[in-house]
Amino acid sequence: MSETPPSLLGLTTYLLSKTGKAARSRLAARLAERDLRLWHMAVLSALVDFGPHVQRELAARLGIDRSDMVKIVDDLAVAGLVDRARDTIDRRRVTVTPTRAGRAMLADLQAEALAVQQELLAPLTSPEQAQLAALLRRVHAHVHEGPEEPRSGR
Amino acid sequence: MSETPPSLLGLTTYLLSKTGKAARSRLAARLAERDLRLWHMAVLSALVDFGPHVQRELAARLGIDRSDMVKIVDDLAVAGLVDRARDTIDRRRVTVTPTRAGRAMLADLQAEALAVQQELLAPLTSPEQAQLAALLRRVHAHVHEGPEEPRSGR
DNA sequence: CCCAATGATGGGTCTTCACCTACTAACTGG
DNA sequence: CCAGTTAGTAGGTGAAGACCCATCATTGGG
């Protein structure tokens, strides 16, 4: 009765879009419990993986506008998850560093992400989950390097 | 330099979210060239797959609000892709039927979706693409039956 | 010492999206 | 034939996202 049209289920594009949306919204819901959004997690990940960044580098790495990065970093700073420090040699720059609380929070968020993942991929066996991850990783790498369309007109 | 943090790449949740977003936005861009959006395609698919629907059934099947469905059907009707007809025995109901142009358009859109799919999944071999589709189909079926959280608060 | 470039901000706009309400026309059961 | 319910419709709301610009402090080159 409430079946999805088979025409759509035959399109991988559609499946990716739908399951992706489910993944995003479920993870976002978990983050929201801690008053965080996906970008907050992305920023924390970048800081922990690659070490302290100047704000501008952070924005460039994650591909978002630097004025938006300001707000994200601000949220994280207020929550005590990162430290913002003026660079002593170039006082225009602000170096962002993860705090201990920030690292702990990231570990927490990663656990949540894994929980969502288990919930989402429940019907797949472990090797299948790994295979899905491997395939997606390759697709992601391909998509990420050749974004094709910077932004469709507004 | 603009690498994505490995912590994120290790999370299937993240990969799904990202590739899903890429799939959605690319397909949406193709549809936009015809002044259509994803829901328009979904409605056409439902009509062609399952035959004419009363508007309310359409909304229920696709899981969207009936007031939003009104606008989608209206767009399609204006574009000549569907016919709206008052039910003769219950004149409150409006039966929506795909026109010949609507069917042709859907075929067109499906071709576009396949093109996007080829572009997106280029790094994968054919059997790998099939495998990805099969895995995603199972995940989608699972996600779709147990939505868990109807809607997180607003 | 001045000027152009740079980094961080704050502010604002413009969409999209999901949801929700109220209203009208029409049907149905008592 | 009246009351309550249902279908479609119009409209509004609020959040989220991506984008863009003006401002201000700072720096570095000439």
* End-to-end Cα, chain B, rounded Å: 38
Say if residue A27's pLDDT is above 90. yes
| CA distances for A132 relative to A50, A138, B13, B130, B132, angstroms | 26, 10, 11, 12, 7
Q: Is A84 helix (H, G, I), strand (E, B) or coil?
A: strand
Say if residue B99's pLDDT is above 50. yes
Say if residue B151's pLDDT is above 90. no
Q: What is the reported pLDDT for B144?
A: 77
Binary contact (A7, B140; C-beta < 8 A): no
Rounded mean pLDDT of A90-117? Answer: 95
Q: How far is the CA of A49 from the C1' of C30 (A)?
A: 72
Domain A16-144 = CATH 1.10.10.10: yes
Say if residues B49 and A6 touch (Cβ distance below 8 Å): yes
Q: State pLDDT tens for residues B48-70.
A: 999 999 999 999 999 999 999 99
Among A residues 28-87, those touching chain B with beta carbons less than 8 Å apart: 28-29, 32, 38, 41-42, 45-46, 48-50, 60-61, 63
Q: What is the reported pLDDT for A3?
A: 81
Phi first, then psi: give them for residue B53, nearest 5 degrees: -130, 150
**What residue in B sits closest to A43 (Cα-Cα)?**
B5
User: A138 beta carbon < 7 A from strand C?
Assistant: no
Query: Which residue ranges make up each domain of chain B?
Result: 16-144
Say if residue A59's pLDDT is above 60. yes
Q: What is the reported pLDDT for B100?
A: 97
